[in-house]
């Protein structure tokens, strides 16, 4: 029997948005004139993604026929109705819903022109911005911190540097002559070799983890999006995934790091303790900066290894047993929560 497909993890868009797959698929090239696309190959990619739980598809009117292509993509037995976003499918079923939406928008603009209303407001769930090792401006210009503060998700477009991170392109000659990317400054003769330096550095890092540059980069971006509270709330899902892959005998530790930053912590000690008990995992708070509980953490893990059970341990092992309720030698002031 073949192994079950590994599913893409999910996360919520912003503070109150929908829950979607953490990795989405940008579909601009499927239906636009941006670049010549093999539709059959594109549909295979859509099927591959949908079968692994992808529910986040980026399409828009300016992408040409993308929405229609997604709605008409072949449906295999594993794909069911996941081959396109439900909203797009409803809108494109017979065109009537699309007309209705257009009429509503037209009515709003009519009221605005007549000065019956002064403006149109809408809740912002997500903002799409370019973010990749080649473009990290949103971290420097203040956009990312403000978005996080306001509970607005950032959807990173072109996370692989428009294909550069993949390592597929080593010179301008590797692009089709009509590829519009050749007109971008990043792909000019002057800048191309400079960007290869960054691409090669990403490759070196990826090799350390037996990953591809694309996988390494997407992992970086997903980690950038997590805050401490989000990571804590995701622990149940992550642990389920680990146990489904490795079994129930794996040793898992919930670590509340940076315990010295009590004024910035987002998870209470009671919450973390309760979560660890519910999930039947180890738990300890640490501070690498202060040296608090770091050695104790590794001792606690060692005591949980097969052959080191509490019963039958040597006297020396008993003396080294960790009691997390007692302060360590490098104890820091008690904090009210943990940064997971």
Among residues 45, 66, 51, the alpha carbon closest in space to that of 8 is found at 51
Q: Taking a C-beta distance cutoff of 8 angstroms, is the pair 257, 287 a contact? A: yes
Instruction: Give dist(CA 46, CA 160) in Å, integer.
Output: 18
Dig out the tokens for 190 from the structure. 């002057």
Asked whether residue 100 carries a pLDDT value surpassing 50, the answer given is no
For residue 113, being part of any structural domain is answered with no
CA 50 to chain centre: 17
For residue 101, being part of any structural domain is answered with no
| Greater pLDDT, 83 or 235 | 235
Instruction: Give dist(CA 164, CA 24) in Å, integer.
Output: 18
**Looking at residue 243, what is its pLDDT?**
86
Residues 71 and 145 in one domain: no
Instruction: Give dist(CA 284, CA 270) in Å, integer.
Output: 12
Q: Taking a C-beta distance cutoff of 8 angstroms, is the pair 266, 228 a contact? A: yes
**Looking at residue 232, what is its pLDDT?**
77
Give the structural domain span for 80. 1-92
Phi, psi dihedrals of residue 133, rounded to the nearest 5°: -60, -20
pLDDT, tens digit, 9 for 90 and up, residues 126-174: 999 999 999 999 988 989 888 887 888 899 999 999 999 999 999 999 9
Asked whether residue 61 carries a pLDDT value surpassing 80, the answer given is no
Using pLDDT thresholds of 50, 70 and 90, give the confidence band for residue 217: very high
For residue 183, being part of any structural domain is answered with yes
Residues 295 and 310 in one domain: yes
For residue 182, being part of any structural domain is answered with yes
Q: How many domains does the chain have?
A: 3
For residue 50, being part of any structural domain is answered with yes
pLDDT, tens digit, 9 for 90 and up, residues 81-92: 443 444 445 444
Using alpha carbons, list the distances in angstroms from residue 302 to 104, 194, 249, 252, 322: 64, 47, 14, 12, 10
Q: What is the pTM of this model?
A: 0.58
For residue 257, being part of any structural domain is answered with yes
Q: Taking a C-beta distance cutoff of 8 angstroms, is the pair 108, 81 a contact? A: no
Residues 176 and 247 in one domain: no
Using pLDDT thresholds of 50, 70 and 90, give the confidence band for residue 45: confident
Q: Taking a C-beta distance cutoff of 8 angstroms, is the pair 71, 88 a contact? A: yes
Dig out the tokens for 73 from the structure. 């993509």
Residues 232 and 268 in one domain: yes
Phi, psi dihedrals of residue 162, rounded to the nearest 5°: 60, 35
């Amino acid at each position: 029997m073949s192994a079950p497909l590994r599913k893409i993890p999910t996360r919520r868009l912003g503070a109150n948005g929908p829950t979607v797959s953490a990795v989405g698929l940008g579909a601009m090239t499927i239906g636009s004139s941006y670049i010549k696309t093999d539709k059959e190959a594109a549909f295979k990619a859509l099927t591959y993604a949908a079968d692994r739980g992808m529910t986040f598809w980026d399409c828009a009117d300016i992408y040409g026929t993308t929405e229609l292509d997604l709605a008409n993509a072949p449906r295999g037995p594993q794909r069911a109705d996941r081959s396109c976003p439900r909203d797009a499918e409803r809108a494109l079923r017979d065109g009537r819903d699309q007309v209705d939406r257009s009429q509503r928008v037209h009515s709003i603009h009519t009221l605005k022109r007549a000065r019956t209303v002064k403006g149109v407001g809408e809740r912002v769930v997500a903002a799409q911005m370019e973010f990749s090792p080649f473009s990290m401006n949103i971290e420097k210009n203040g956009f990312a911190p403000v978005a996080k503060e306001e509970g607005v998700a950032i959807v990173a477009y072109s996370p692989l540097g428009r294909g550069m991170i993949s390592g597929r392109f080593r010179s301008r000659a590797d692009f089709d002559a009509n590829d519009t990317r050749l007109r971008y400054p990043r792909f000019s003769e002057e800048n191309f070799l400079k960007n290869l330096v960054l691409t090669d550095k990403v490759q070196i890092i990826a090799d350390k983890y037996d990953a591809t540059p694309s996988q390494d980069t997407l992992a970086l971006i997903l980690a950038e999006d997590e805050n401490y509270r989000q990571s804590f709330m995701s622990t149940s899902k992550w642990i389920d995934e680990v146990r489904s892959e490795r079994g129930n005998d794996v040793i898992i530790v919930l670590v509340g790091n940076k315990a010295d930053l009590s004024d910035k912590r987002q998870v209470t000690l009671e919450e973390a303790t309760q979560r660890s008990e519910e999930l039947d995992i180890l738990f300890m708070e640490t501070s690498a900066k202060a040296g608090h509980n770091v050695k104790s953490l590794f001792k606690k893990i060692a005591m949980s290894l097969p052959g080191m059970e509490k019963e039958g341990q040597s006297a020396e092992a008993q003396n080294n047993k960790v009691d997390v309720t007692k302060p360590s030698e490098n104890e820091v002031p008690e904090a009210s929560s943990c940064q997971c």
